[in-house]
Amino acid sequence: MEAEFVSRAMAAATALAGELYLRVDDAVVIHNSNKLALRLFPCDVFARVALTGQEVAALEVELARRLAAVASPVAALEPRVEPRVYERDGFAVTLWTYYEVVAADLDLPGAYADVLHRLHTGMRGVEIATPHFLDRVAEAERLVTQRDETPALADADRHLLLSTLQSARERIHSRGAAEQLLHGEPHPGNLLNTCDGLLFIDFETCCRGPIEFDVAHVPEEVSARYPDVDQVLLAECRRLVLAMVAAWRWDILDEFPDGHQHGRNILTLLRQGPPWPTLGTLAAE
């Protein structure tokens, strides 16, 4: 969220919490990207704030409610207020339980794979309208083809990304894998290690597709522990995810820190060829 909106968003969340009889003396920014994540004190509520019309908060709230009902490993909504999207001063606000993060278990990869498998099992029992993962691929392709939206992307890189997105999409489709509801981006940044165990957060990228698309977002030591993965499909999904993220880094509206350099790093990997690394491996370099 741009700096000019941050103070307004914090004020909106604080005022809303007060109206809901949640005491707030202070608000601390935990994360700022396309939306603002706040910890409200002393009520100890986690607030997510986005500009109205630039969020999929209603889907996220409804999905969190349904997954909690089947005991899926997801962060809970704030129990002291009605579970819904609140609108205040041009912002959409959702209120969640705040979790203290604890030290990771020694067998984190195994626990991570198990909790992702449990999430997928729970998701198979939830019927809710979501985009298809190929809709996100189509959006990445659109960015690459629209020069006015990716003006800094060189022609050779533009061709590489477009051909990679198209070929990976076709190869994934040809595998004919079963599809289901997915998290969309179950990478380590969207997993909390809490006293209540490992819990997934941030379902705004929820979509339908093969489970390998989700597994492509986790570290290799985790994917190796996930049961019954189609390894050929997983490799193609990793290639697809790399190309999608590279496309987003060249979006003129992208706010990722040093985004162009991150995009160039991914383009180098795509030129080098397989084996395809995970995004986490790239970030750790």
Per-residue pLDDT of the chain (285 residues; tens, 9 = 90+): 677 788 999 999 999 999 999 999 999 999 887 789 999 999 999 999 998 876 678 899 999 999 999 999 999 999 999 999 999 999 999 999 999 988 877 689 999 999 999 999 999 989 999 999 999 999 999 999 999 999 999 999 999 999 999 999 999 999 999 999 999 999 999 999 999 999 999 998 999 999 999 999 999 999 999 999 999 999 999 999 999 999 999 999 888 888 999 999 999 999 999 999 988 766 544
- Which among 97, 117, 150 is the end of a domain? 97
Q: Are both 126 and 73 inside the same structural domain?
A: no
User: On the CB side of 71, how many CA atoms lie within 13 Å of its CA?
Assistant: 0
Residues 79 and 140 in one domain: no
Residue 241 CA, chain-centre distance (Å), reads: 12
Go through 179-201 and write b for each residue having 16 or more CB atoms within 10 A of its CB, e for each that does not.
ebbbbbbbbbebbbbbeeebbbb
Extract the runs of DSSP E, i.e. beta strands, from 6-125: 24-32, 36-42, 45-51, 86-88, 91-97
In this prediction, residue 54 carries a pLDDT of 62
Alpha-carbon distances of 114 from 123, 197, 198, 202, 224, rounded to whole Å: 14, 11, 10, 19, 11
Residue 219 lies in domain: 107-281
In CATH, what number is assigned to the domain containing residue 181? 3.90.1200.10
**Do both 178 and 239 map to the same domain?**
yes
Phi/psi at 116 (nearest 5 deg)? -70, -40
Residues 196, 157: one domain? yes
* pTM exceeding 0.95: no
* Residue whose tokens read 């492509």: 216
If asked whether residues 268 and 131 sit together in one domain, one would say yes
Query: Do both 140 and 181 map to the same domain?
Result: yes
Query: Does residue 261 sit in helix, strand or coil?
Result: helix
> In which residue are the tokens 């992702």 written?
116
Number of domains composing the chain = 2
Q: Are residues 14 and 57 in the same domain?
A: yes
Q: Does some domain include residue 268?
A: yes
